[in-house]
Amino acid sequence: MTVPSTPSSSVHTDPELLALLTLRFTPGLGPRRVESLRTFCGSAQKVLSTPLTELREVPGMDVKALQAIGTAGPASKAAQEIERAAEYGATLLGRGLEGYPEALESLGNPPAVIWVSGDLPLLAAVPRAIGVVGTRKASTHALHLTGQISTDLTRAGVIVVSGLARGIDTAAHAATVNAGGVGIGILGSGLDQMYPPENAGLSRRMVVISEYPLGTSPAAHNFPQRNRLIAALSAGTLVVEGEFKSGAMITATHALECGRTVFAVPGRAGDPLAQGPHRLLREGGVLTETAQDILNEFGWNGPGAAPMPDLPPEQQRLWELLAQPATLDDLQAQSGLTHAQL
């Protein structure tokens, strides 16, 4: 097995990130297997230098996948991707490394590496963020309501997360950036393969995240995967309109699996686009008509509240953790700080 070579250009790369990306590109290694290997060996770099006979001791591994670890193809592909990302202006964040959103750890299979365009804010275990999702065929009323709720959430210092799709997603993102807030869009394609293309201009005013390499075209099977990131990066997910079987409902399911809160806007009886929200309401979702319903659920400050203060990183993290009531022991466990520091 060989450790991947450093990119040949002037790009400076964390060796652990490069090794992690190499594992990401190794056939047969999904996020769970990559993390199992790294946990077993202590680091991604050590995985690449550990003999196959030892790696076979890791539970749940496929022999064929293990044999591909350390081969030239994935290492070369990782080095090239580092250079392409630098040229594009994207940032690569590896699980367990600096900058990787802690909120993604609520997933059973967080991506080993994510691609980011823009300045990603700190996303704590339970971030001050709300996912806003719904149908691409939204009614005029739903689009207006989505814009109003997103605007009011933004004014309360809440990050709005969605999928940059047509309809509800676009309305949420547009309202957020127009109100001067932070919008996070999650793609089911590479950062350089914007879908739908008409949202390219809007995306440049936001933070955009993908778990797919540059050049990855949008594909139907990528979007359910994308939806789980929307759910994990949000304290709760709001479904405005959506049919019984829809991407919005998939996102809501992921939110519940992550232990997040689900919100739903009631619709008209008999309207197919109200099927999804009504099901969520019957199953315990929070009935939502305004942003205040969401803010009240979490005990967050409402619209017009003072903006988030400019704090040192450790204090900023505590500020975000205190978006919900917490004891000193809770804060110590979630922040890693000592009682004296807290």
Lowest mean pLDDT across 1-15, 105-119, 121-135, 205-219: 1-15
Do 273 and 188 reside in the same domain of the chain? yes
pLDDT digits 0-9 by tens, 263-284: 999 999 999 999 999 999 999 9
Closest CA to 267 of 282, 251, 254: 282
Q: Which domain holds residue 235?
A: 129-298
Of the pLDDT bands very low, low, confident and very high (cuts 50, 70, 90), residue 4 is low
The pair of three-digit structure tokens given for residue 160, joined into one six-digit string: 């709005």
Assign 229 to helix, strand or coil.
helix
Answer for the pair 189, 216: CB distance below 8 angstroms, yes or no. yes
Could you count the other beta carbons within 10 Å of the beta carbon of residue 303? 17
Give the pLDDT mean for 136-150: 96
Number of domains in the chain: 3
Quickly tell me which residue has 């409402």 as its tokens.
302
- Give a yes or no: residue 179 inside a domain: yes
Residue 151 CA to residue 160 CA, distance in Å, equals 9
pTM: 0.84
What per-residue string of b and e applies to 83-117 under the rule 16 or more CB within 10 Å gives b? ebbbeeebbbbbbbeeebbbbbebbeebbbbbbbb
In a domain, 2, yes or no: no
Position 157 scores a pLDDT of 93
Q: Does pLDDT of 330 surpass 90?
A: no
Q: Does residue 119 belong to any structural domain of this protein? A: no
For the cut 60, the answer to whether the pLDDT of residue 303 exceeds it is no
Greater pLDDT, 33 or 331: 33
Of all helices (H) and strands (E), which one includes residue 256? helix 247-257
Q: Name the CA dihedral angle for 144, 158, 264, 136, rounded to a multiple of 10 degrees.
A: 50
- List the structure tokens of 58: 């890791």
Q: Looking at the structure, do residues 65 and 200 belong to the same domain, yes or no?
A: no
Phi, psi (rounded to 5 degrees) for 265: -95, 125
Residue 316 has pLDDT above 80, yes or no: no
In a domain, 328, yes or no: yes
The helix or strand, by DSSP H or E, that contains position 41, with its residue range, turns out to be helix 31-41
- The CATH number of whichever domain residue 78 belongs to comes to 1.10.150
- Examine residue 166 and state whether it is found in any structural domain, yes or no: yes
Which one has a higher pLDDT value, 190 or 12?
190
Residue 47, domain member (yes or no): yes
Give residue-wise pLDDT tens across range 85-116.
999 999 999 999 999 999 999 999 999 999 99
DSSP type of residue 281? H
Question: Per residue in 56-66, pLDDT tens?
Answer: 999 999 889 99
CA atoms within 13 A on the CB side of 213: 14
Q: Is residue 164 part of a domain?
A: yes
- Strand 236-239 to strand 207-210: parallel, antiparallel, or no bridges (unpaired)? unpaired
215 and 341 assigned to the same domain: no
